[in-house]
Every structure is written in structure tokens, then in C-alpha cells.
Structure 1
């Protein structure tokens, strides 16, 4: 894969808003909602894409959730690579994963959310 890919939930207002912030970073990656992505070519599944944000690196390795956010930040270069590296440290990785899961599970309560964010994944538009 020539360029990394960030895969997110395009039906979720909070996720879309978060991606708009990521676009302001020095990010050299393709950003695509999972609903429009060729998930098979990206070596992942719809089930996983519905569950968490995904980062597919140049080698085709797929990271999800907090690990995807850390990989994205590391890819942006200095100074963004520093928080990415910190989130990847074994001692903080578990905390980052818990934090990510809390945000993902509560995204319908966060700023920028849409009614689709509150629906179970199988009931969201495009399901």
C-alpha cells in the first residue's frame, strides 16, 4: 500500500468531526468512511470497522481504536509523533485503550454527535 488509510464511521457525527480535526494535522494518508472503503482490500472486516477507527499502514498492518490513533499521530511527524509514541508505551497503552473504548461507547453523548451515533451498529444508516 503506497499511502496509509484512516477508516472511520461516516455515519457518526462525532467520528466525522474528529476526522476533520485529523485533516488539519500534517497527515499524508487517505481518509475514508468504512461505508465507502474496500474493506477486503484493506484486510479488515465490516464488523471491525463498525467497532473502531482503523489505521492501515503502508505495509498493510491494521491497527484499531487507541492503537490507530497512536499510529496516526506517529505518522504525522514531530511534534505529533511524541503523543503518539507516549500512547504506544506499554504502561499507557492499556489506559489509552480504556479511554478510547469509553469515548466510542459514549460518542452519542459527546459534542458533534448525531442521532445515528446512539443507534446500535446494526441499526445505523448503511447497515
Structure 2
């Protein structure tokens, strides 16, 4: 793999907004893509892993998830963002980051840009909204 990859949930409006922020504001060489459009097998990821948290697959083969993946993404960017990524890796910050990340993941449908679909597992989202994310007939 030549380029690092940051994978997020493209069916979640909150996650998509965060990814748009990354693409606009954080100068990284990593690909930022929704797991629904990623070749998960090539990346060595499963749908379950991607449902649980954002994922980082480094060009060097390193892997991280959740706030650790965010720290890796920040570490792969400009100086100010690298500083933030270093801070996120500090043991006391990292210890607080995981519970905060899990809270956000559980409540992303309530956050700005979130929708009711954000709170559902992938299988339920597809059953209700179809693979395109649009409501299917009868829902």
C-alpha cells in the first residue's frame, strides 16, 4: 500500500461531515473514504470493525481504530495538526479519548449533522434505507 487510508462510516451524516472537515481543513496525504466504498479485503478490514469505529491503515501497514486512528491521521498532517495528534496519544488523554469516542459513537445521531440512520447498525440501515441511504419503498 502506497498511501495511508482513513476509513469512516459513510452512511452516518455526522461521520460524513467530520470527513468533509478533514478533507477541507486537515492537510493529509491519506485517503479519506467511507467504508461502504472501500475494498475492505485489500485493506484487511471487516465490516464489523468499520461499524465499531473509524479505521486507519498506514502506508507502512500500521493499523489503528477510534481515537488512535484519529491521532494517526493528525500525525500524518501539517505541524499544528501533528501536535494535536501527539497530544491525543499521551496516556492520560488517550485514556479519556476512548470513553469520549464511544459516547460520540453511541450518540452520533443526536450530534450536529446526525440523522436517525446514524444510530442504526449497517444491516438495519440497509433494510430501512437501502444501500444508497435513501428510504426504500414502504419505509
Matched, 1:87 2:49: no
1:124 aligned residue: 125
Q: CA deviation at 1:114?
A: 1.8
Which has the larger share of helix?
2
Of 104-113 and 27-36, deviating more is: 27-36
- Segments of 5+ residues of structure 2 without an aligned counterpart are 132-139
> TM-score, normalised to structure 1's length?
0.94
> TM-score, normalised to structure 2's length?
0.86
Q: Report the Cα distance in structure 2 between the residues aligned to 1:23 and 1:118, rounded to whole angstroms.
A: 24
Larger Rg: 2
Q: CA deviation at 1:36?
A: 1.1
Is the 1:65–1:97 contact (alpha carbons within 8 Å) kept by the matching residues of 2?
Answer: yes
Is the 2:51–2:121 contact (alpha carbons within 8 Å) kept by the matching residues of 1?
Answer: no
Is the 2:7–2:50 contact (alpha carbons within 8 Å) kept by the matching residues of 1?
Answer: yes
The equivalences for 1:102-113 within 5 A come to 102-113=103-114
Q: Deviations over 1:49-82 (max 9, x none)?
A: 0111111111122210000111111111301111
The alignment yields a C-alpha RMSD, in angstroms, of 1.1
Structure 1 residue ranges (4+ consecutive) displaced by more than 2 angstroms after TM superposition: none
Q: Report the Cα distance in structure 1 between the residues aligned to 2:66 and 2:41, rounded to whole angstroms.
A: 19
Bigger RCO (CA 8 Å, 6+ sep): 1
